Amino acid sequence: MHPAARALPAAIFVIAACSSITTVDATAPDDPAVEPTTVSTDPGEPANPPDPAAPGDALSEPRTPDALPDPTEVLPVSPEAPTADAPRVVADPPPPFAASIAPFEGDALERSTWAPSCPVHHDDLRLLTLHHWRPDGSTTTGELVVHADWADEIVGVFAQLYSAGFPIEEMRITTPSDVAAPPDDDNHTTAFVCRAVTGGTTYSQHAYGLAIDINPLWNPYLRGDVLIPPTAAPWLDRGDVRPGMIVEGDPVVAAFDAIGWGWGGRWTSLDDWQHFSANGR
């Protein structure tokens, strides 16, 4: 979505194999009483991404039904087992995907790493709740905080991941205690984290809500002999693809490619298989 106008609806999406589109309400972000609204839709084609160098630009108008694909093209849920000792049981038919977009405030804001010194104001961030598959084949709801300019597109990405049956072990807001703790076997998927880049002093794209890390234990960061998390060695063989891993050409990379986000698995100086960002950094 190219941010041409500051009008982002707070929305709830419900996506099934065949569904209708009903927009209930849309409130401009300048209204302090912004409330979530509901939409029932199929995952749509992403709009043109904004210029990542200008994350504070205006937001664009909501996506129209004409931009949505044929619902028969939604990928089936994968029945594969995520691990040898954890057989995957997939509901048939699966429950529909559901998501919401809301202001980033209250308890969610208090649990996060946001502070007045962060490079983005919390009014420019949105709290997403997203239905996702777990490794055991069950479904649950997680939370992500992303920049408001990209909230609709990120919902669309995770709708595609849900349709593909891609498992996410845990999705939640990163807390200050998470940042202070050693990474160990942490595997939670997250977006906004007010921190510097790994091994540097400049702000990470996570600090703007413009980056997402997915299943970091199964898709680690590797630079020379630096491995994060340090317990991720069993997942360094990227040819031994198991559920939850991200590899070139898979539904995760394809979904982020479609909205113009770059993948750390294509970098040449290091590998960051978990990482996707609006500006490719």
Using one digit for the tens of pLDDT, what is the confidence trace for 194-248? Answer: 999 888 889 999 999 999 999 999 999 999 999 999 999 999 999 999 999 999 9
6 is a domain residue: no
Choose the weakest-confidence range: 21-25, 39-43, 243-247: 21-25
172 is a domain residue: yes
Between CA 83 and CA 81 the distance in angstroms is 6
229 is a domain residue: no
Q: pLDDT, tens digit, for every residue of 85-138?
A: 555 555 577 899 999 999 999 999 999 999 999 999 999 999 999 999 999 999
259 is a domain residue: no
The confidence score (pLDDT) of residue 65 equals 39
Burial of 130 (0-12, 13-18, 19+ CB in 10 A): buried
Whether residue 178 contacts residue 255, with contact meaning beta carbons closer than 8 Å, is answered with no
173 is a domain residue: yes
Between CA 128 and CA 98 the distance in angstroms is 11
Q: Domain of 97? A: 12-202
C-alpha dihedral, 199 to 110 to 220 to 149, nearest 10°: -90
240 is a domain residue: no
Between CA 247 and CA 8 the distance in angstroms is 32
189 is a domain residue: yes
60 is a domain residue: yes
Number of domains in the chain: 1
In one-letter notation, the amino acid at residue 65 is P
